[in-house]
């Protein structure tokens, strides 16, 4: 299986940054063991992707939503925003930086 991330990739989570492909892969493996994920939707922004700097570097961003459920407890709806920076390595595009956040509940208008 080809690597999705560059060796020096950074994943910026709501808990802080995770550095390097191996650490990022371990973060996702641990997350999947703790939570059941379903209904994941990733909607790119209408201006994505964009070339930044050279044609070998792309940026993309958008919204995400999903349902998560722990080993005990009710399903929880999550949503937020993401951004990626991709770099070309040979014939492959790999993620150099991935950022994701969790949006709070919609604000109430009075």
Q: Which CATH architecture has domain 5-102?
A: Roll (3.10)
pLDDT mean over 34-56: 92
- Look-up of token digits 């770099």: 87
Q: Rounded to whole angstroms, how far apart are CA atoms 78 and 70? A: 13
Using a cut of 0.95, tell me whether the model's pTM lies above it.
no
- Look-up of token digits 């998560």: 68
Q: What is the mean pLDDT of the chain?
A: 89
pLDDT band at 71 (very low <50, low <70, confident <90, very high): confident
Please name which of 14, 40, 12 lies closest in space to residue 99, comparing C-alpha atoms. Answer: 12
More confident of the two residues 71 and 26: 26
């Amino acid at each position: 299986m080809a690597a999705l991330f560059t060796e020096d990739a950074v994943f910026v989570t709501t808990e802080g940054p995770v550095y390097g492909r191996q650490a990022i892969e371990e973060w996702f493996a641990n997350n999947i063991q703790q939570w059941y994920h379903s209904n994941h939707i990733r909607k790119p922004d209408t201006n994505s992707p964009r070339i930044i700097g050279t044609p070998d570097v792309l940026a993309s961003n958008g919204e995400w939503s999903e349902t998560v459920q722990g080993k005990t407890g009710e399903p929880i709806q999550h949503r937020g925003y993401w951004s990626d920076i991709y770099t070309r390595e040979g014939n492959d595009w790999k993620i150099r930086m991935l950022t994701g956040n969790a949006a709070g509940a919609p604000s109430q208008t009075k």
